[in-house]
Every structure is written in structure tokens, then in C-alpha cells.
A and B are shown apart, each in its own frame.
Chain A
Amino acid sequence: MVTVDKVIEGATARSKAFDTAWSWITTVDHKRIGILYLITSIIFFFGAGIEALVIRTQLARPDSTLVDPGTFNQMFTMHALSMIFLGVMPMSVAFFNIVVPLAIGARDVAFPRLNALSYWVFLFGGLILNGGFISGLGSPDTGWFAYANLTEEPFTTGQGMTFYSLGLLILGISSLAGAFNFAVTIINMRAPGMSLMRMPPFVWMTLVTSFLLITAMPVITVGLIQILFDRTFGTNFFDTTAGGSPVLWQHVFWLFGHPEVYILILPAMGIVSEIIPTFSRKPLFGYKFVIFSGIVIGFMGWGVWSHHMFTVGLGNVANSVFAITTMLIAVPTGVKIFNWMGTMWGGSIRFSTPMLFAVGFVAMFILGGLSGVTHASPPADAQQQDTYYIVAHLHYVLFGGSIMGILAGIYYWFPKMTGRMLNDNLGKLHFWLLMFGANLTFFPMHILGLVGMPRRVYTYSAVSGFEAYNLLQTVGAFILAASFLIFLHNVFSSLKKGERAGADPWDGRTLEWTIASPPPHYNFVEIPTVHSREPAWDLKYGHDSEGATPIERSDAPGAQLYNQAEEEDHPEIHMPDPSYWPLVVAAGFGIAGALFVVGPWFSAIGVVIAVVGLYAWAAEPVSKDDHH
């Protein structure tokens, strides 16, 4: 009897677990997809972090033989690729998903199933990019920039470049699908009254980023097709013996690559523009200027790519022009920083963990931006290019910038996602340890570069004078890694026994804070009508008779409106049904990519799966009670 009971119990438990898993696999809910994005990208991020630790351990001592140069080259290539394409970009997309529909008062994104497809394609793309590790065939080892003609036969053999081009092509499909989705969602699905100039800054930056993705991804797609065809089918795009130009690849790559830099930083800037006003209890200072400078950065980001190529020998005129455009792009960036400080000025700043990270972002980004100005000048850059000075700069803007901004976002919106607070003390410990570790790792790199240590070298000699800095950096890197263990612990413990977050734990100012945490799957029982930039604030606070000093509204609807802790049944609200076809289509792409390594024509199998999936998808109604 007992055993039978147990078996039945077990079976039910299993099927319950299965149901949960299945509901996540087939989900088209933007909040769940956002969480899937976040979890997956954090896992890839940790992988990239381990690669960084291998690099740092190898470089801790001179003439180290921990790894051979081949492995080292794979490590720094995969570290960059994973951080950029599997870490920062999808983490930003996670916030697009979690925040944007809530912040604009929509029930979901414009194309929920396409959204699911974006996630699954991202997952498969990430696996293929890591295919070299998974299959043991060897990962790409030519740097994330993969300069032709080093990437051509016979200079690079093996499958590394196949994983590189296929992985990035597939990730590009994911990015593009996501970008179309969010551009349409933001342009078309705002709540009544939310004009463009009433959108929260994060939504604005999502829109700018989406346009950058829409225009930049096809450029690299072409470059990847060219390199893939050169290697697989023997075309001549970058074959110098046939007259091909390796510099063409650099133009194609950086024409994508520089907008990509803003794809990585603008979402973080948007997050910070949300957090600083909330914790300063003041509206964003100079809203229009912050938004406009974001748009200007998006446009100008297209006119600076050759500053990555100052030492290629493009000529004095080209270098002068790109030097000036590059310096100019510092102006809108500066405007943003000054406006964040203007927001804090005269405010009532509460330094909870999200605010600490946001201010940390500003502090680190100032340094990253200024070091960027020093190599906006081609003659100065001639000494800095390809040295650790550049590594320092890019880590101050991508780690000190993007990652810090994203961490701020995680601490800020975690209560909204899960209904529980992250522990603030652990968060602060994470912050200070991270600040210390990051500066210890990345600051000495400035000096190391200027005293002559080049990038992408697997070792250096004992007489070079590089030892002390390298050792410091390695120590810093491990402190940095330790700070993330605290973060992980915080996440897991808070998920179980974190303080319950109400609908509005931070005294928020935007729409997402007017609904329960976590929000019901339909988000809003009633789509709100928006009358200002800060609808949530207006619900809570009014003005005194002079109209300047805010006071709490006596009629604030607060408690009644917010505390829908339980999801109510609203049969009149129809949401799209779950679907597994996005997964099938994405798997088709994944299989096509994996089989390409076996033989290009085997990919057809995956393509057939994807096409069948697409037809089935098109035939499937959005929801069962869809009578059309």
C-alpha cells in the first residue's frame, strides 16, 4: 500500500513538475520569456567569467605555461563573444521583455510567439557559438573581431570559425526578431495618453537600441556570410591572393561593431535613468535632453566606426574626420551624465542597492568615457591601440557601464519579477566588493598598456616590468568573481525567504509599479490612461497650493489598486495561448547550424524542420477562442 501510494504520489509530482516545465517551454508571456532570457544569459555570463579567470590566472605570472597559446586564444575570443552576445545583449533583452510592456501599459509585446522564438533561437545560437567547447572540435581563436585574412585557410584551420559565423548568424536572427518586436510594441502599443515624450527613458533607450539592431545586424550578417562562404565554399571575399581586401572585413565588422557598442550601453543608460529619479525622489532632470542625447548617440554611432581602425593606415584625412566625430559623440554622453547628476542634485537620495549600482555606473562610466577621449586622438591612439590601455577602457564602459547598469536593473526589478526583495545588505556587500575588485582589475590595465603591454598575448617575459600590474589584476579578478558568488547566494536565498515585496517597494514613478508583484499574466486588469511622464508618482503625490512642493495625496488609491497579490480570474481578458512551434522553428535553426559543421548540405534537414514549424505556426490560431 505504502509503495503504491508513493508511486502515485511520485507520478503526480513528476507530472506536476512536467507541467511546470512544459508551461515554461511553451510560454509566450513576455515576463516569463524575460526571466528565461535572464537566467540563460547569467549562465553564459558565468561561463565567460570563468574564461576571464583562466586568462587572468595565466597572466598572473610571467612566462606562465598554465595554458598553451592556442587555448589562450580560444579563451579571450570566447570571453569577448560570450560577454557581448550571450551576456550583456540578452540581459538587456531580458529587461526589454520584463519591463517594456509593463512600463507602456500593454498586455504583452506585439508578437508574443515571435518573442518566444527570439528566446529559443538565442539559446540555440549560444550553444552553437559554444559548440567548439561542447563538441571538443575547438572554439574560435581569432578574436571576437576575427580579422580577415587570419580567418582564412590556411592561416586558421579547423571548425572554430564555423562555430563563430554560424553562432553569430543564428544569434543575429534572434536579435533581429526581438528588435522588430520591441520597435513595433513601443511604437504601436502604448497605453492611451502615453505619447512618445511621456515614455519612460528605459523604453526610449529600448526603442533606440531596437533601431540600432535592425540596422546593424544585417551588416554583420553579410560579413559572416562572406567569411563562412570563403571558408566553406572557397569564395574569394577576403582571399588576398585573389585580390580580396582584408580591410573590407574591418569596415564591415566595425560598421556593425560600433553601433553594437551602443546596443550594449544604451539599455544600461536607460536603466540608470529610471533608477536615479526613483531613489532621488525627483523626476529625471532634463528628460528631453536625456532622450534626445540617446537618439543622437544612436545616429552618431554610425559615423565613428573607423576609430577602431586608426592604425590601419586609412590616411590623414580619414583619421582626422573620424577623430572629430568620435570626440563629438562624447558630448551627448556627457549631457546624459550631467543630467543624472542634476537629478540627484537637490534630491533626497536613498542608497539602496539599485541606487548604489546606478551611481557606481556613473562613476565608472565617467572614467571609461574619458579614457575613450584619449584614444579618439589617432596619434595618441597609435601608442594605445592593441594594448591593455584599450582593454582598460572597454572594461570601464562595458563592465563599469553595461554590467553595472544591468546589475542595478536586476536589483531594481527583481521584486517586480519575483514578488520578493533581494537582501539589501548582501547587495551592498556585493556592490562594494565588486567596485573594489573591478577597479583593482581594470585600473592597472591603463598603466600596463601605456608601459607597453600588448593585448592578446598569452604570456610576457619576466624582464618586461609587467609583473606587478598583472598580479594585481589577477587578484582583482578573483575578488570580482567572489562578489558574484555573493550575488548568486543572495538570489537563491531571497527567492526562498526574501522579504515580500509589495507592488511598489521603491516608491516608483512608472506604470510597472502600479500593478502587483509579480504581475498577473495579463498585466493590467484595465489598461491605464496616462496623463504624465510619471503616472505612478501622480497617483501617490499631488502638489501644495503653490504647485511646487509635492505632498502625499490624501486620496491616493494606493492600497486598493496595488495589492492584488493573487491573480484574479478575468475571463474577459484574452491572452495568447502557449505554443511550442517557436521552439520547433528555433530547433530547426539550431539543427541546421550544428549539422553545417558535419557538412553544409546536411543543414537542409534543419531548414526543413524550421519551414514545417513556420507553416504549423502560421496555421495555429493565436488563442483557442479565436474565431477568425
Chain B
Amino acid sequence: MASGLIRKTFLPALLLAFLFLLASCGDQSTFEVKGEVAQRQLELFWIIFALAAFVFVVVEGALIYGAFRYRRRPGQAIPKQTHGHTKLEIAWTIAPTIVLVGVAIPTLFVIFNTSSSSDYDITLNVVDEVVDPSNEVTVEQARFVVPTASIGDEITVPRMHITARAHQWWWEFRYSGDEIETANELHIPVNTRVDVDLFSDDVIHSFWIPNLAGKLDVVPTVINKTWFMASEPGVYEGRCAEFCGLAHADMKFVVIAHEWQDYDQWKLAYNAPPQQPTDDALLGQAVFLSKGCVLCHNKDAPTALEVREQQRNQFMEGNNVVPGPNLKHFATRTTMAAGIAPLTQSNLESWLSDPEEFKPGNRMAELAAVYNDPTQTMTDEEVKQLTAYLLTLRPAVETIPTPTPDPASVPPTPTPDPFAPTPTPAPSPTPVVLPPGDAARGAQVFETSTPLTCVTCHSLDGTVGLGPTQQGIASTAGARIPGMTAREYITQSLLDTNSYIVEGFPADLMPANFIETIGPQAVADVIEYLLTLN
């Protein structure tokens, strides 16, 4: 009787409770699938779950039934001493095997067709009105991919290729063929198979976007490959799933899926030139350049892979440099500090004034001089200026579309041609009169200047650092630009540090305003010193 009670009320109640709990789940649920791979994984899960639930109810039911049915009653005789039953044993060896075959066969299919090596075409039906977004597109949509598409056609989804580089504790995405690098935000078009190569610069991480695809580890020394697809525009949360150290919990990213046409606009906007900083932002730029931010953060993208390699080596050797997220068009991002908080002025200010409080364990708090060297701490004023500067890091023309749930309502907006060459002013010799310099003092400046010593980035012994080595600069400088002497070349390079960029090194990395920061005398001394380095 009691067992009947349990069967009739308890189990359905449990199931109801389970379904209710599922219904109340958050955005990163693996049940909220929005793409092909996660869809297949979820379908497989439901098959196994159904089998497991069936076995659970039968076996657990039998256990409870047996426990009640055969409980000892007063005065009961000793039961018959049975020792076993071979046919039963065979039966309950074979029965679970059959159930497991039912699990194994779909498993093998899904292993192969969700793996990176699966190469079947995913097709979409072109229809008048979209009912099932994972299978259907409107004719307007379809024409972005196949210009001749008409209702009733089947179109094959396009493919794109990205590499994801995991760092402690943030994500870097590079879009092959597009010279695009973003940090912690991955923009993709919908209904496009996105093939991902996974790299790690330090330890093992795991790449996971619950709504779109199950995880795959990011292992140093190995390039793992995976793919995923989003069937609807939207913002999907991704994160590192493999424990990777102190800030593992705060190593997230977002995937922003755009309609095809919106994605093209996003790319155009990405390539647009940045706004020019003014007022506070201009002062903030000075903070950015003088406080050593540039050692780890590039504000142009993509960051040369050599630079990443050098930054990583610097870290491994115990120096205060580590690969940091590039800040190109930083202000257009929706999140900050590896996807853990919305990008707002107040969040950014608290992050910059105390990053350890904001995201415990992060490398910026651990390594950056401004947070560790009391002589270099930023004032509140400077934090505000730096924040203002970072918030101006956006394209001069705002063109980034926001993903909307209704794709048809976004008409393509005309944009200025971002590929038109922006006139960059040719470097002209700046008329600055320098006092006579002294090589000995210059050597001292080179090795002790604040906030950063020259030698931090420019070695004297030929090793490649963040900047080119100065070994033998006195002899090589003269040969760099035809018609320029070594003295002219070095002087110009110091007065306007972006004048001549040695191949393989990034622009904008070197602080720009030496005349203001260290003064004309020191600049002249360094020039004399460098000219002694034969």
C-alpha cells in the first residue's frame, strides 16, 4: 500500500518538481539550445535520460516494493534459503546490455557528426515566414548568402574560421582572413558554421558556450578544433570550464550573433578609424601611455603573434608583463574584465582603481606597476581621465548594430566606406631644438628612467623584447631610411615614436611624448648614448 502511495504521488510529484525547476533556469542553460551542435547534444541527452529514467523507476520501484513486501513480520519462519538462479542472472546481464546498446548507437553517431572533422553541409529551407529558425530563413535573409535564392530553395550555410586563444583569465579571438582581433567578445553571423581552433598561451582552459555547443579543452602544445553555429541572433554567454587558477570563475566571454547583414556592418565598423580623444580623454591617453598599460595592452588589433609570444616569455621569466586584452574599440564592448560585468563608466572606474577587488586574482592587479609600486599609484583624477580615454576608444562613425530578435526589421544602413584610405600625415621632421647631450647621462636615463626604463623593452644584447634591440643601433640606424643619418633617424624616432616602425613590432606601443615626460635634456642625452652603441 505504501509502495502504491509512493508510485502514485511521490514519483509524479518529483517529476513535476524536476520540470518546474527546468522551466525556471537561467540563460546559460544547456536546455536553451540556440544552435546545431548543442541541439544534437541535447537530443542525445534526452534519449539517454529517457532510458535512464525508465531504468531508475523500474529498479528503484522494485527495490522499494521488495523492501516493504518482504519486511519481517512477527513470528515469521526462516525464509527459504535460495542461493541464486542462473537464468535470472543471464537475464539481468543481458537486459542492461541491451539498454546500453540503445545508448551507445546514438552516441557514436553524435560523436562523429558534432566533431570538428564532420564535414556535412548544413542546409536551410528558404521560406516565406520563418517558424523554426534553426531550419528556415526568409528569402531576404537567404539572398545575403545566395543572391539568387527563392522560396522553396535549400541553401547551404556558409562557414567561417576563427582562432580562440585562452589566457589566464581572458579570451582572445582572431578572425582568419579579416585581420580582426577581439577580446572577450566574439561576433559571429547567424546560420554560419563557425570553425574554431583553440590555443592556450599558459595552462589548460576549456571553451564552452552552453547554448551553442558543449565544451572542448584548450590545451597548451595542442591545437584543438571544434565548431558551433547560432541559429538566432542574440548574446550568448561563454566561459572557461576547466579549472585554471585563481580567477577561473571570472573567465567568461560573450558570443554576439548578428544577422548576416548586421555582421558585415559590424566588420565595417571594426575597421573604421578610431575617434580622436579630447579634454579629459586626452589626459587619460597620457596616463595610458605613461603608466605602462601599453606593455600588455595594444589598442590596435590584431596584435602581432610575436608580441604575444614575447609577452608570454616575459611572464614565464618572472617579469611584470603578460599578454593583455587588446583595447581596439574597447568602448563598443558590452562587457568588461572578461565578460564578468557590463561595461559602464562606474564599473570601469572601480576596475581601474582596484582591479583585485573587482576580479580577485587577475594578472593586472598582480603585475602592473600602478597597483604594486606605491610611487606609481594613479590618483582618482587619473583614474577618471583614463576611464574617459578608454570610453572614447570607438570608431569615429558609430555603425555597430545591436542584435535584435526580429531579424527582418533591420534594414541595411549605408555606411561610409571604411576601406577608403585614411590620410595618415607623412612624418615630417619636427622642428625641436635639443640641447647638447651627454652619452654617460644618456646611459643612465636609458636604464633608470621612470615610469618605464627604455631597457625594459629594448635590450642591449640582441635579445628580442617588446621593442627592437638597441644593440649596434649606431651602425644600423643609418641604413634604415635612405638619405637619413643615424643621428637623424634616432632623433626622429624619439621625438615621434611612430615615425618608423621596425617590421614585426607593433605601432603605438612606445610612449609618445618624451619631450614632455623626460624633458629635452634627457632625450638629447639618450640620443648621444645610442650613437655610442656600435
Query: What distance in Å separates the Cβ of B36 from its nearest Cβ neighbour in chain A?
Result: 12
A379 to B62, CA, bound (A): 31
- The answer to whether A150 and B28 have CB atoms under 8 Å apart is no
Most buried by A among B24, B73, B81, B222: B81
Write out the residue numbers on chain B whose beta carbons fall within 8 Å of the beta carbon of A552: 78
Query: What distance in Å separates the Cβ of B31 from its nearest Cβ neighbour in chain A?
Result: 7
- The answer to whether B79 and A447 have CB atoms under 8 Å apart is no
A347 to B79, CA, bound (A): 6
- The answer to whether B52 and A374 have CB atoms under 8 Å apart is yes
Most buried by B among A283, A378, A382, A464: A382
Known: A246-B221, A286-B89, A320-B111. A465 touches B243 (CB 8 A): no
Count the A-B residue pairs with Cβ separation under 8 angstroms: how many?
293
Write out the residue numbers on chain B whose beta carbons fall within 8 Å of the beta carbon of A367: 56, 60
Write out the residue numbers on chain B whose beta carbons fall within 8 Å of the beta carbon of A138: none
Where chain B touches its partner, the secondary structure class is mixed
Known: A382-B41, A455-B243. A465 touches B316 (CB 8 A): no
- The answer to whether A348 and B104 have CB atoms under 8 Å apart is no
CB-CB nearest in chain B for A342: B88
A327 to B96, CA, bound (A): 10
Query: What distance in Å separates the Cβ of A216 from its nearest Cβ neighbour in chain B?
Result: 23
- The answer to whether B111 and A378 have CB atoms under 8 Å apart is yes
Number of interface residues of B (CB under 8 A): 95
A158 at the interface (CB under 8 A from B): no
Write out the residue numbers on chain B whose beta carbons fall within 8 Å of the beta carbon of A371: 52
Write out the residue numbers on chain A whose beta carbons fall within 8 Å of the beta carbon of B84: 285-289, 339, 342
Known: A143-B243, A313-B219, A377-B44. A349 touches B70 (CB 8 A): yes
Contact of A457 (CB < 8 Å), options: B85, B107, B213, B248: B248
B432 at the interface (CB under 8 A from A): no
A352 to B430, CA, bound (A): 95
A539 at the interface (CB under 8 A from B): no
Please report which residues of chain B, range 44-92, place their CB below 8 angstroms from some CB of chain A when the two chains form the complex: 44-45, 48-49, 52, 55-56, 59-60, 62-64, 66-67, 70-73, 76-85, 88-89, 92
A468 at the interface (CB under 8 A from B): yes
- The answer to whether B29 and A282 have CB atoms under 8 Å apart is no
Write out the residue numbers on chain B whose beta carbons fall within 8 Å of the beta carbon of A68: 360
- The answer to whether A541 and B67 have CB atoms under 8 Å apart is no
A247 at the interface (CB under 8 A from B): yes
Please report which residues of chain B, range 122-151, place their CB below 8 angstroms from some CB of chain A when the two chains form the complex: none
B304-338 vs A, Cβ < 8 Å mask (1 yes, 0 no): 00000000000110100000000000000000000
B383 at the interface (CB under 8 A from A): no
A337 to B60, CA, bound (A): 10
Query: What distance in Å separates the Cβ of B418 from its nearest Cβ neighbour in chain A?
Result: 35
A350 to B71, CA, bound (A): 6
Contact of B85 (CB < 8 Å), options: A70, A150, A286: A286
- The answer to whether A386 and B242 have CB atoms under 8 Å apart is yes
- The answer to whether B29 and A452 have CB atoms under 8 Å apart is yes
Write out the residue numbers on chain B whose beta carbons fall within 8 Å of the beta carbon of A316: 111-112, 115, 117
CB-CB nearest in chain B for A145: B243
Contact of A450 (CB < 8 Å), options: B29, B92, B216: B29
B168 at the interface (CB under 8 A from A): yes
Known: A328-B100, A348-B78. A154 touches B316 (CB 8 A): yes
- The answer to whether A379 and B214 have CB atoms under 8 Å apart is yes
Write out the residue numbers on chain B whose beta carbons fall within 8 Å of the beta carbon of A247: 219, 222
Query: What distance in Å separates the Cβ of A344 from its nearest Cβ neighbour in chain B?
Result: 5
Known: A156-B245, A371-B52. A451 touches B79 (CB 8 A): no
A551 at the interface (CB under 8 A from B): yes
Of the stretches A186-194, A237-245, A297-305, the one at the interface is A237-245
A410 to B204, CA, bound (A): 42
- The answer to whether A349 and B71 have CB atoms under 8 Å apart is yes
B220 at the interface (CB under 8 A from A): yes
Please report which residues of chain B, range 19-38, place their CB below 8 angstroms from some CB of chain A when the two chains form the complex: 21-22, 24-31, 38
A495 at the interface (CB under 8 A from B): no
- The answer to whether B219 and A331 have CB atoms under 8 Å apart is no
Query: What distance in Å separates the Cβ of A509 from its nearest Cβ neighbour in chain B?
Result: 10
A373 at the interface (CB under 8 A from B): yes
- The answer to whether B30 and A450 have CB atoms under 8 Å apart is yes
A623 to B26, CA, bound (A): 69
- The answer to whether A344 and B241 have CB atoms under 8 Å apart is no
B349 at the interface (CB under 8 A from A): no
A134 at the interface (CB under 8 A from B): no
Known: A283-B83, A350-B72, A377-B48. A551 touches B315 (CB 8 A): no
- The answer to whether B204 and A460 have CB atoms under 8 Å apart is no
A313 to B216, CA, bound (A): 7
B210 at the interface (CB under 8 A from A): yes
Write out the residue numbers on chain B whose beta carbons fall within 8 Å of the beta carbon of A273: none
A interface residue count range (under 10 / 10 to 19 / 20 to 34 / 35 or more): 35 or more
B93 at the interface (CB under 8 A from A): yes
Contact of A551 (CB < 8 Å), options: B59, B78, B246: B78
- The answer to whether B100 and A330 have CB atoms under 8 Å apart is yes
Query: What distance in Å separates the Cβ of B110 from its nearest Cβ neighbour in chain A?
Result: 4
Please report which residues of chain A, range 442-471, place their CB below 8 angstroms from some CB of chain B when the two chains form the complex: 444, 447, 450-452, 454-461, 463-466, 468-469
A455 to B249, CA, bound (A): 9
B472-507 vs A, Cβ < 8 Å mask (1 yes, 0 no): 000000000000000000000000000000000000
Query: What distance in Å separates the Cβ of A387 from its nearest Cβ neighbour in chain B?
Result: 7
Write out the residue numbers on chain A whose beta carbons fall within 8 Å of the beta carbon of B45: 374, 377, 380, 383
Of the stretches A358-366, A519-527, A557-565, A572-580, the one at the interface is A358-366
- The answer to whether A385 and B241 have CB atoms under 8 Å apart is yes
B202 at the interface (CB under 8 A from A): yes
Query: What distance in Å separates the Cβ of B164 from its nearest Cβ neighbour in chain A?
Result: 13
Write out the residue numbers on chain A whose beta carbons fall within 8 Å of the beta carbon of B41: 379-380, 382-383
- The answer to whether B28 and A452 have CB atoms under 8 Å apart is yes
B350 at the interface (CB under 8 A from A): no
Contact of B52 (CB < 8 Å), options: A370, A451, A452: A370
B224 at the interface (CB under 8 A from A): yes
A226 at the interface (CB under 8 A from B): no
B426 at the interface (CB under 8 A from A): no
- The answer to whether A319 and B249 have CB atoms under 8 Å apart is no
B120 at the interface (CB under 8 A from A): no
- The answer to whether A246 and B63 have CB atoms under 8 Å apart is no
A376 to B104, CA, bound (A): 9
B103 at the interface (CB under 8 A from A): yes
B244 at the interface (CB under 8 A from A): yes
A603 at the interface (CB under 8 A from B): no
Most buried by A among B72, B216, B243, B315: B243
- The answer to whether B96 and A330 have CB atoms under 8 Å apart is yes
CB-CB nearest in chain A for B210: A452
A517 at the interface (CB under 8 A from B): no
Write out the residue numbers on chain A whose beta carbons fall within 8 Å of the beta carbon of B277: none
Please report which residues of chain B, range 232-262, place their CB below 8 angstroms from some CB of chain A when the two chains form the complex: 237, 239, 241-249
- The answer to whether A465 and B221 have CB atoms under 8 Å apart is no
- The answer to whether A454 and B239 have CB atoms under 8 Å apart is yes
Q: A347-B70, A350-B71 are in contact. List 19 more A-B contacts (CB 8 A).
A: A69-B248, A155-B168, A311-B241, A323-B107, A334-B96, A366-B60, A377-B107, A379-B114, A380-B44, A382-B41, A383-B215, A386-B215, A447-B25, A450-B30, A455-B243, A466-B26, A548-B81, A549-B78, A552-B78
8 closest A-B pairs by beta carbon, nearest first, are A465-B26, A382-B214, A452-B28, A457-B249, A451-B25, A313-B224, A286-B84, A451-B29
Residues of A participating in the B interface, judged by any CB pair closer than 8 Å: 68-70, 73, 142-143, 147, 149-150, 154-156, 240-241, 243-247, 280-283, 285-289, 311-313, 316, 319-320, 323-324, 327-328, 330-331, 334-335, 337-339, 341-342, 344-351, 359, 362-363, 366-367, 370-371, 373-374, 376-383, 385-387, 444, 447, 450-452, 454-461, 463-466, 468-469, 541, 548-552
Can you list 27 A-B contacts with CB-CB less than 8 angstroms, sorted by A residue number?
Answer: A149-B220, A150-B203, A154-B315, A154-B318, A286-B84, A316-B112, A319-B111, A320-B111, A323-B108, A341-B66, A346-B70, A348-B72, A348-B73, A359-B63, A373-B48, A374-B45, A379-B44, A381-B214, A444-B21, A447-B21, A451-B26, A451-B29, A452-B25, A456-B249, A458-B249, A465-B26, A549-B77
